Chain A
């Protein structure tokens, strides 16, 4: 399913004293099966954009389309059906757990939002757990006994069990330690290979660089940058001007490239990978 935003604007509390424009004239196309990264400072409109795609918010002007459907034009029943195909993982989704056991929590959506027969719950929960890198035996564990990273993956499994064609993720690695971040990245890479369209809002550049095909940058509600990730190296100083803190290896590689020394074609986030590329370049 492709995603398309055409000249979309959104203002919170449009006619009140707290009116705040969150998005202004944003146009963005994400092809089916692609991973689109969304970066930008806090309050730049990333979360608003995700909620517009999921139909939780209606644009004040402009048009949002997911596949052939326009969320703003759907009735509540059609919207619920669309949302089963377009999963949205909120920031800190573990704060929204309803059930005590992992299996019941993952099956919550299946039970109340689909027509899946109950005997199908267990195998589908098992599949979802596998997709997030957890063993099927986790289904019987108490959620309160899990670590922060495991909880985040259980929340992700609760969305994946609906088998969404599009997955919108809001800061999926925020507040997680390194092993948990790696586990979330592995899950998202698996989904990307499966052909799920991903729209990923994050401050975490290593995560964005590792997963995304395209990167868009929002600033004060406006799309200030949108380009394939491979071309990012040439735009480093512009992105820094936009207030983004890029990883040191990325900056170093860009700086070397400016001086005519190009260590490789891709964007570096890992210092060791950059060191290896420099060594190879020097040897050749």
Chain B
């Protein structure tokens, strides 16, 4: 098990958000992403923030989890905000509210961009944290099914997508495990010349690549052993069900998009 939580990890649960049809969750998430890109004034962003906070609550995810989810992105968010502050739009449209910020309103644009990125990560995390990879792949297959009539290999694409999503945490877990194994041998990755450090990093990459190839081969054999055939029509264990809650969720997301576009 990992010592820390990771972004994009499915969190088992039975919250309101967990119970939503994956198709409506997928569509609503994309609508909310569009809303986030359209939100410009601080008021609009605050509405988005309130919606994201409400969804976080509806997904029954603890607040401390948000810190863990955002942890790998802080540097990126800070960098983007600083770049926006110095070189981005914002201009010198008036005095700022705090004396040390001077007349430059770039800070406002930087803050808005940082908030937008945080909300974007929150929305995407909410989608994958409350939807299993298999449900997500199923939702994609439903949306892409019309392409199947044109000869597009939807089923294969969806299987690849489902397996890839399933393998991301396994891949991370494996790399953390190998990293630990090398640390346990007394390898200090910060020690030595650049060449030595590269060689030490290979100590993680080589077994990781070999194990991944081995795992994918084993998986392919296991799938064949269970009579998997590409292109064959597949059934589903669980029936898709759309409820009033799904409709409300979609309507709110679509309503916000309409409001912000207008």
A residues engaging B (CB < 8 A)?
12-13, 15-18, 20, 22, 51, 54, 56-57, 76-77, 80-81, 83-84, 87-88, 90, 93, 95-98, 108-109, 111-114, 158-159, 162
Of the residues B180, B188, B207, contact of A80 by C-beta under 8 Å: B188
Residues of the A chain whose Cβ atoms lie less than 8 Å from the Cβ of B188: 76-77, 80, 113
A114 in complex: contacting residue of B9, B64, B186, CB < 8 Å = B186
Flag if B5 contacts A17 (CB, 8 Å).
yes
The answer to whether B185 touches A158, judged by C-beta atoms less than 8 angstroms apart, is yes
Q: Mark B185-214, 1 if CB is under 8 A from A, else 0.
A: 111101110001001101100110011000
Closest to B61 in A: A17
- Docked Cα-Cα span, A104 to B182, in Å, equals 15
Whether A112 pairs with B196 at a CB distance below 8 angstroms is yes
Provide the residues of chain A in CB contact with B68, threshold 8 Å. Answer: 13, 15-16
By the criterion of a CB under 8 Å from any partner CB, how many residues of chain B are at the interface? 37
Question: Is there an interface contact between A108 and B203, defined as CB atoms closer than 8 Å?
Answer: yes
Query: A87–B184 contact, CB under 8 A?
Result: yes
Q: How far is the CB of B226 from chain A (nearest CB, A)?
A: 23
Q: Given the known A-B contacts A57-B3, A83-B184, A83-B186, are A17 and B62 also in contact in the complex, defined by CB atoms under 8 Å?
A: yes
Which 7 pairs from chain A and chain B are nearest by CB?
A: A84-B186, A80-B188, A113-B186, A16-B5, A15-B64, A88-B184, A83-B186
Given A20-B1, A90-B177: A81 and B186 within 8 A (CB)?
A: yes
Contact at A80–B211, with CB atoms within 8 Å? Answer: no
Contacts of A97 in B (CB 8 A): 207, 210
Chain B contacts to A: CB under 8 angstroms: 1-5, 9, 11, 13, 61-62, 64-65, 67-68, 177-178, 180-188, 190-192, 196, 199-200, 202-203, 206-207, 210-211
Q: With contacts A17-B61, A18-B5, A90-B177 known, is A98 near B184, CB below 8 A?
A: no
Tell me whether A17 and B1 are in contact in the complex, defined as CB-CB below 8 angstroms, given that A76-B190, A112-B199, A162-B186 are known contacts: no
Give the residue name and chain of the A residue nearest to B208 (CB): A96
Q: A12-B1, A15-B67, A90-B184 are in contact. Are A112 and B203 (CB under 8 A)?
A: yes
Q: Roughly how many angstroms separate A81 CA and B188 CA in the complex, as a whole number? A: 9
Q: Determine whether the beta carbon of B64 is less than 8 Å from that of A113.
A: no
A165 to B187, CA, bound (A): 17
With A18-B5, A108-B203, A112-B199 as given contacts, are A96 and B62 in contact (CB-CB < 8 Å)?
A: no
Question: 17 A-B pairs, CB-CB below 8 angstroms?
Answer: A12-B3, A13-B5, A15-B68, A16-B64, A17-B5, A18-B9, A57-B3, A76-B188, A76-B190, A77-B188, A80-B191, A83-B184, A88-B184, A93-B181, A108-B185, A112-B199, A112-B200
CA distance A80 to B186 in the complex (A): 5
Q: Report the minimal beta-carbon distance from A8 to chain B, rounded to whole angstroms.
A: 15
* Smallest CB separation, B199 vs chain A (Å): 7
A56-B180, A108-B185, A114-B186 known; A77+B211 contact, CB < 8 A: no
| Whole-angstrom distance between the Cβ of A91 and the nearest chain B Cβ | 9
Minimum Cβ distance to chain B for residue A64 (Å): 15
Contacts of A95 in B (CB 8 A): 178, 207, 211
Report the minimum CB–CB distance from B86 to chain A (whole Å): 34
Could you tell me if A77 and B191 are in contact, using CB atoms closer than 8 angstroms? Answer: yes
Known: A95-B211, A96-B178, A98-B202. A113 touches B185 (CB 8 A): yes
Q: Determine if B184 and A54 form an interchain contact, defined as CB atoms under 8 angstroms apart.
A: yes
Residue of B nearest to A83 (CB): B186
Task: A95 to B62: give the CA distance in the assembly, Å.
Answer: 36
B residues within 8 A CB of A13?
Answer: 1-5, 68
Residue of B nearest to A58 (CB): B3
Closest residue on chain A to residue B4 by CB atoms = A13
Give chain A nearest CB distance to B34 CB in angstroms: 28
What residue in chain A is nearest B202 (Cβ atoms)?
A98
Specify which of B3, B184, B196 lies most central, judged by the most chain A CB atoms within 10 Å of its CB.
B184
Residues on B with beta carbons closer than 8 Å to the beta carbon of A87: 184-185
Tell me how far the C-beta of A97 lies from the nearest C-beta in chain B, rounded to whole angstroms: 6
* Chain B residues, CB < 8 A from A108: 185, 203
Docked-complex contact A98 and B185, CB < 8 angstroms = no
| CB pair A162 B185 closer than 8 Å | yes
| Residues of the B chain whose Cβ atoms lie less than 8 Å from the Cβ of A56 | 180, 183-184
Closest chain B residue, CB of each to CB of A84: B186
Q: Which residues of chain B come closer than 8 Å to A57, judged between CB atoms? A: 3
- Asked whether B207 lies within 8 Å of A96 as measured between CB atoms, the reply is yes
With CB as the reference atom, state the residue of chain A lying closest to B196: A112
Q: Which residues of B contact A15 (CB under 8 A)?
A: 62, 64-65, 67-68
